[in-house]
Chains A and B, each alone.
Chain A
């Protein structure tokens, strides 16, 4: 019986491939602390190559120059360059204006690539560990929160967007309704394009248009980053709580410049926790 199975080599290889797939997915899915050097090498190379390809939205922003009969090639080029710089300046100014209002430091990065399929919504940016980016840092645009850093190498970082359809660790959030009402942002409803905020106590009254921001109580995210506004309130999964559809403040369609939020307090906290954990382990060993 077994010999017959081995006789059909193709079937055997297929089975082996499926087993290998399951094993490799099982090993790599979920939260991973570090990326291996092989992955880091491939990621860095592709990010570096992609950064050489100009994006059409930038080219579109340059606009079509007029009156080309009169002007020489050089002038046209300079004009295009000027309008490109204007556009860039405007975007960066918007970003800078946003920075002034907040005390955390922001690392501005350019988007290099975005994952083609929307089932697994990732963004690759051109800044990495050497610029001070760490895992789990929140990422914003000048409009609001868009995601968190899911993997980081020396030269680049992967961002998991809020619109990712998979299971993500929830983000602690507040609804600003006079008092602060706590809840967790978990998941994204693609049909209505709304974020789902769950586990809100059923007693509280929420209204459309109230602001939703990140909670400072979270260990990884700094507080008061704008997520969006309350859109619709329904009963939660368990029947005893409320669920809110949150309209995200940021647009996810075209992301050219993003900012990684570096909160010194949270980094300190993380270090402290790691120290405590390792101390616990040592004590446990004894």
Chain B
């Protein structure tokens, strides 16, 4: 049941990524800074922090693959990167005691790694030709900052769902 709820929640966030959040992002209003909205990735990272690396890996792979199929020019980049970041987040969650602030910091770091990884693959396969300094300053850094802030409601959502069905795993988390 929790799995269905989480899938539904993440799918809803996925739909928001392509539609509503596109209109709210600064680039839609003419700003040179680009926010790449990634609440789904935040959700997967947070889920992985709470439920462990296996959940992160599976959800990451599925949602990454959907992202690739819907928006991608090539299939596999997001599937690999999101699955990898889900796994890494699950791995580091064992290293510290966690609360909301620590969880958000971890999300920020993982988001940065994820975006760098995606950009790296895109550069490698020549999907994009933007120089990396430019993409760092205008795309990745603003995206990480905004995504970390947006991750808070996602954190509440994931926690609520997990807490409702598996209160035990949440106790371990705190």
Confirm or deny: B99 has a beta carbon within 8 angstroms of a beta carbon on chain A.
no
Within 46-68 of A, Cβ neighbours of B (below 8 Å) are at 46-47, 49-50, 53, 55-57
Bound complex: CA A181 to CA B32 (Å)? 32
Confirm or deny: A39 has a beta carbon within 8 angstroms of a beta carbon on chain B.
yes
Confirm or deny: A148 has a beta carbon within 8 angstroms of a beta carbon on chain B.
no
Contact A119 B23 (CB under 8 A): no
Confirm or deny: B38 has a beta carbon within 8 angstroms of a beta carbon on chain A.
yes
Bound complex: CA A42 to CA B22 (Å)? 21
Confirm or deny: A120 has a beta carbon within 8 angstroms of a beta carbon on chain B.
yes
Map CB proximity to B onto A163-207 as digits: 1 under 8 Å, 0 otherwise: 001110000000000000000000100110000000000000000
| The residue from B27, B37, B122, B135 contacting A120, defined by CB atoms under 8 A apart | B122
Contact A28 B75 (CB under 8 A): yes
| The residue from B23, B36, B118, B130 contacting A190, defined by CB atoms under 8 A apart | B130
Confirm or deny: A43 has a beta carbon within 8 angstroms of a beta carbon on chain B.
yes
Bound complex: CA A56 to CA B19 (Å)? 9
Bound complex: CA A183 to CA B27 (Å)? 29
Confirm or deny: A116 has a beta carbon within 8 angstroms of a beta carbon on chain B.
yes
Once A53-B19, A116-B21, A166-B126 are accepted as A-B contacts, the answer to whether A253 and B70 lie under 8 Å apart by CB is no
Bound complex: CA A21 to CA B18 (Å)? 24
Contact A116 B18 (CB under 8 A): yes
Contact B18 A124 (CB under 8 A): yes
Give 23 pairs: A residue, B residue, CB < 8 Å, sorted on A: A21-B77, A24-B75, A25-B74, A25-B125, A42-B70, A50-B19, A53-B16, A55-B20, A55-B22, A56-B23, A57-B23, A113-B22, A115-B71, A118-B34, A118-B139, A119-B118, A119-B128, A120-B127, A122-B71, A160-B73, A165-B129, A165-B130, A253-B27
Contact A120 B19 (CB under 8 A): no
Contact A112 B19 (CB under 8 A): yes
Map CB proximity to B onto A92-130 as digits: 1 under 8 Å, 0 otherwise: 000000000000000000001111111110101000000
| The residue from B15, B70, B80, B135 contacting A43, defined by CB atoms under 8 A apart | B70
Smallest beta-carbon distance B131→chain A, Å:
10
Confirm or deny: A75 has a beta carbon within 8 angstroms of a beta carbon on chain B.
no
Contact B36 A117 (CB under 8 A): yes
Bound complex: CA A122 to CA B32 (Å)? 18
Confirm or deny: A254 has a beta carbon within 8 angstroms of a beta carbon on chain B.
yes
Q: Count B interface residues, CB 8 Å.
A: 48
Within 230-285 of A, Cβ neighbours of B (below 8 Å) are at 253-254
| The residue from A29, A114, A160, A187 contacting B74, defined by CB atoms under 8 A apart | A29
For residue A27, which residues in chain B have a CB less than 8 angstroms away from its CB? 75
Contact A21 B19 (CB under 8 A): no
For residue A165, which residues in chain B have a CB less than 8 angstroms away from its CB? 128-130
Nearest B residue to A52 via CB reads: B15
For residue B134, which residues in chain A have a CB less than 8 angstroms away from its CB? 190-191
For residue A21, which residues in chain B have a CB less than 8 angstroms away from its CB? 76-77, 79-80, 121
For residue A150, which residues in chain B have a CB less than 8 angstroms away from its CB? 73
Interface of B is mostly: helix
Confirm or deny: A85 has a beta carbon within 8 angstroms of a beta carbon on chain B.
no
Confirm or deny: A17 has a beta carbon within 8 angstroms of a beta carbon on chain B.
yes
Smallest beta-carbon distance B115→chain A, Å:
8
Within 113-156 of B, Cβ neighbours of A (below 8 Å) are at 118-119, 121-122, 125-130, 134-135, 138-139
Map CB proximity to A onto B60-79 as digits: 1 under 8 Å, 0 otherwise: 00000010011111111101
Top 7 nearest A-B pairs by Cβ distance? Answer: A113-B18, A115-B71, A119-B128, A24-B76, A42-B69, A165-B128, A29-B74
Confirm or deny: A20 has a beta carbon within 8 angstroms of a beta carbon on chain B.
yes
Smallest beta-carbon distance A96→chain B, Å:
25
Smallest beta-carbon distance B4→chain A, Å:
16
Within 47-100 of B, Cβ neighbours of A (below 8 Å) are at 66, 69-77, 79-80, 83-84
Contact A114 B18 (CB under 8 A): yes
Smallest beta-carbon distance B77→chain A, Å:
7
| The residue from A20, A46, A114, A117 contacting B76, defined by CB atoms under 8 A apart | A20
Bound complex: CA A165 to CA B128 (Å)? 5
For residue B126, which residues in chain A have a CB less than 8 angstroms away from its CB? 29, 166-167
